[in-house]
């Protein structure tokens, strides 16, 4: 298996632009997680899905952020409009079962820079 | 969610010495405690985990101990090597996994 796949690996955009990050989880994994990592706030869970259904989006910072999972093999995290404070590394992760009992496998991350 | 505290935030050791990182959690119902290693510019990767039915688990130079009564667990790395230099995260679940703030380990040659 190729593991969790994320694209793009790097994104540089200007403030106000829409940004879409993409993730393909490991095949057969029922759970998908989106994290944001910054020096100041560490690794923050933004949202997670179970069987393509959003379960907890309490970590989403504000309405500018949205996430979808149209099918078991694809998810997107969208920021519209983007702001400089959104600059961070965004990780997608997946697990076979609930993370309270199972390993999460992380993708390589997308490094987002908003100018 | 789960409150996970991790200490120290930075740790420097001489090559060959041991390193210990500690985490505490708040939910007594938690029963799965993974440790992740993140090298510079890379993704977090699981290095070892422990479940609440055991007190210690070892994998070569890495070990994790769990004290459920005190609600803390620790990562032990023996005979440290330069490639052990990385950020280490503990995690504990309540609902979803909550990560500690990370420990930057530097192994000095």
Q: A58-76: per-residue pLDDT in tens?
A: 999 889 999 999 999 999 9
Tokens of A62: 């504000």
Residue A43 has pLDDT above 80, yes or no: yes
Of A41, A31, A91, whose CA–CA distance to A61 is shortest?
A41
Contact A19, B75 (CB under 8 A): no
Tokens of A97: 């079962």
pLDDT the model gives residue A105: 94
Tokens of B33: 């405690």
Instruction: Give dist(CA A32, CA A50) in Å, integer.
Output: 7
Residues 16-55 of B with CB under 8 A from A: 30-32, 34, 42-46, 49
- Give per-residue burial for A13-50: e unless 16+ CB within 10 Å, then b: beeeeebebbbbbbeebbbbbbbbbeeeebbebbbbbe
Instruction: Give dist(CA B80, CA B76) in Å, integer.
Output: 10
Contact A43 B99 (CB under 8 A): yes
pLDDT the model gives residue B3: 80
Sites in chain B below the pLDDT cut of 70: 1-2, 94
pLDDT the model gives residue A62: 86
Task: Name the residue facing B32 among A100, A105, A106 (closest C-beta).
Answer: A100
Contact B95 A56 (CB under 8 A): yes
Average pLDDT taken over every residue of chain A: 94
Q: A25-36: per-residue pLDDT in tens?
A: 999 999 999 999
A86-115 average pLDDT score: 93
pLDDT the model gives residue B53: 81
């Amino acid at each position: 298996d190729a593991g969790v796949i994320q694209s793009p690996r790097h994104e540089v955009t200007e403030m106000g632009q829409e940004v879409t990050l993409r993730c393909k989880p490991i095949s057969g994994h029922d759970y998908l997680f989106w994290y944001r990592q910054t020096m100041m706030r560490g690794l923050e869970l933004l949202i997670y899905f179970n069987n393509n259904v959003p379960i907890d989006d309490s970590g989403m910072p504000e309405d500018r952020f949205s996430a979808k999972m149209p099918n078991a093999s694809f998810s997107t995290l969208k920021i519209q409009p983007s702001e400089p404070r959104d600059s961070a590394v965004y990780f997608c992760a997946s697990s076979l079962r609930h993370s309270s009992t199972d390993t999460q496998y992380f993708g390589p991350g997308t490094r987002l820079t908003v100018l | 969610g789960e409150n996970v505290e991790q200490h120290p935030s930075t740790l420097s050791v001489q090559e060959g010495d041991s390193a210990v990182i500690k985490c505490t959690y708040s939910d007594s119902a938690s029963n799965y405690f993974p440790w992740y290693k993140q090298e510079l510019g890379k993704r977090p990767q699981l290095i070892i985990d422990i479940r609440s039915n055991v007190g210690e688990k070892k994998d070569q130079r890495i070990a994790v101990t769990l004290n459920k009564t005190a609600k803390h667990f620790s990562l032990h790395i023996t005979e440290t090597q330069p490639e052990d230099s990385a950020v280490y995260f503990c995690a504990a679940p309540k609902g979803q996994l909550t990560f500690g703030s990370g420990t930057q380990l530097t192994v000095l040659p």
